[in-house]
Structure 1
C-alpha cells in the first residue's frame, strides 16, 4: 500500500490556479486573510490545518461558491474572481463536496449518465426520447470501471458502502471532464480499507489532471501530495512537501499545541 500511494516526483508543471491576497470577511470576522496560492499543473496539492483554519472557506472561494472580500483568483491565466461557480465548472475547475451527493435511488449507471448529460447538452434537449441516453452508456461504464465500480453498475447507490459512494462521486465528477479536480475531505468518515481504496483512486485520476484537496488524514497527505499548504487562523502558516512542513515548529504547535518548557 505504501508504494501504491506515493506521488510521482517531478510531475508538476506551470501554475494552473493561483490566488493573490485572497481575503474573506464575514460581518467583521476575517475567515481568510491575504492567502497567496500557486497550484502547479499536474500536481496533487493539499490544504491542511486544524479545525477553524479556513480550509473550507478557501476552497469555497477558489470554486466560486463564495466571493472574496479582496484579492484575485486566476485560472489558466484568466481572472475568475467575479465569475460564478457554474462558469468555472464549465472551464474545467470541478469540485466534490464533504457530504455525499449521489442520487440514492438511481443505479450507479444512471448516476453517471445524469452527470454526462451536461457536457453533451442532453439535459436541455427535453424533446428527445429517453433512449437517447443510451448513447452515454459506453462512457458511463468506462468511468465506473475507472473507479472500480463497473461490476455494480445496476445496483442502486443507496446499497453502496460509504467508501464506494465516494468513489461514485469521483466518477460523476470525472464525467464533467475536469482539467482540475478539487476534493473536499474525500476521506472523511471512512474506515481504513476505504481510505486506502480512495487514496489509490485519487492517485490514478491525478495521472492526467491537477488535484487540490482539503484533507485531515495526514498519513494519506504525506504519501499522496506533492505540495502541502498549512493554514492556521485563516492565514498560510507553511508550505512545501510533507517533510518540510512536518518539521516546521509552527505547524507542530498549530496541531499539537506548545510543548512544555524544560524544568
Structure 2
C-alpha cells in the first residue's frame, strides 16, 4: 500500500532510505511520505528499525543509501543542528529536562537557543527577563504555567514530558518527531499527554514512534508499519490493523 500524496503535499519524504551496520540492514529501502499538518505514526515490533529510522531522518547517523527531503530540500548529508534550525525538531524517548532549573528557566533556555544565544548560569535575572513572557505563554499552552517556579526535578513524569514539549515548541518547529512520547507514563498521565500532543499538532506536523496502539488509533492520520527494517504496510489505523501481514508480525509481540 503506498501513500498517494504528491511531493508538494509532503513536508518530509524519503527515497530508498537504508542503513547497514557491518552487513546487517537495520533500515532497508524505506520510502516515506509525511503529509503536512498530519500526525503520522511509525510502528512495528521490537527491532523493526523505528529508532534507527528516526536517527536517519534527523541525520544523527548517516544513511548508507537513499535520500531524505525536508520541504523539498535534500538534507541527506546535513547535520542535526542544521536540521533543527530548519524546523525539524526531535524529542527523545527519555525526558530531557534540566532538573535543577526551574520549569520557567527550562523554557527560557530553549528560547535563547532559538534566538541564537547560549545560556549562562551567571546571567542576571534582568537579561533573562526578555524571554519570560513567551516562556509563560508556552507553559500555559501545555498546562504548566502554575508550575513555572517549581524545580523541574520535582515534576511528575507526565509533567516532565509536557515540559519537554514546551521546550520543543520554543524552537518553533514545523515538524516534530516524538520518540515514544507515552513511554513510562502512568495510566493517569496517558490521557492528558495524548490530548497535549493533539493540541500542539494543530498547526504543525508530527511524526511519532509509539507502542501504545490505543494512542496511535486516537491520534494518527496515517501509519507506516516497519518489520525487519522494511515497510510492511501503510495506511489508516483501520487499514493496517486489518492487514494480515501486520497481524502476523505482531503475533506474540503484544503490540510492541
Give the TM-score of the pair, scaled to structure 2. 0.93
Q: Which runs of 4+ in 1 moved over 4 A?
A: 124-130
User: Could you tell me how far 1:131 is from its partner in structure 2?
Assistant: 1.8
Alignment length (residue pairs) = 246
Residue 166 of structure 1 aligns with which residue? Answer: 161
| 1:238 corresponds to which of 230, 233, 238 | 233
Partner SS state of residue 94, structure 1 = strand
1:45-64 paired onto structure 2 within 5 Å: 45-64=40-59
Answering whether residue 242 of structure 2 is matched by residue 255 of structure 1, we say no
- Asked if the contact 2:109/2:119 (under 8 Å) is kept, the reply is no
Residue 9 of structure 2 aligns with which residue? Answer: 14
User: Could you tell me how far 1:130 is from its partner in structure 2?
Assistant: 4.9
Answering whether residue 23 of structure 2 is matched by residue 28 of structure 1, we say yes
Partner SS state of residue 101, structure 1 = coil
1:124-135 paired onto structure 2 within 5 Å: 129-135=124-130
| 1:137 corresponds to which of 127, 132, 137 | 132
1-side partners of 2:55 and 2:248: how far apart? Answer: 26
User: Could you tell me how far 1:126 is from its partner in structure 2?
Assistant: 10
The CA RMSD measured in Å over matched residues stands at: 1.7
Partner SS state of residue 239, structure 2 = helix
2-side partners of 1:23 and 1:110: how far apart? Answer: 39
User: Could you tell me how far 1:174 is from its partner in structure 2?
Assistant: 0.5
1:58-77 paired onto structure 2 within 5 Å: 58-77=53-72
Partner SS state of residue 123, structure 1 = coil
1:136/1:193 CA distance change after superposition, 3 Å:
same
1-side partners of 2:115 and 2:240: how far apart? Answer: 43
User: Could you tell me how far 1:251 is from its partner in structure 2?
Assistant: 0.3
2-side partners of 1:225 and 1:152: how far apart? Answer: 30
1:181-196 paired onto structure 2 within 5 Å: 181-196=176-191
1-side partners of 2:112 and 2:124: how far apart? Answer: 13
Give the TM-score of the pair, scaled to structure 1. 0.90
Segments of 5+ residues of structure 2 without an aligned counterpart are: 1-7
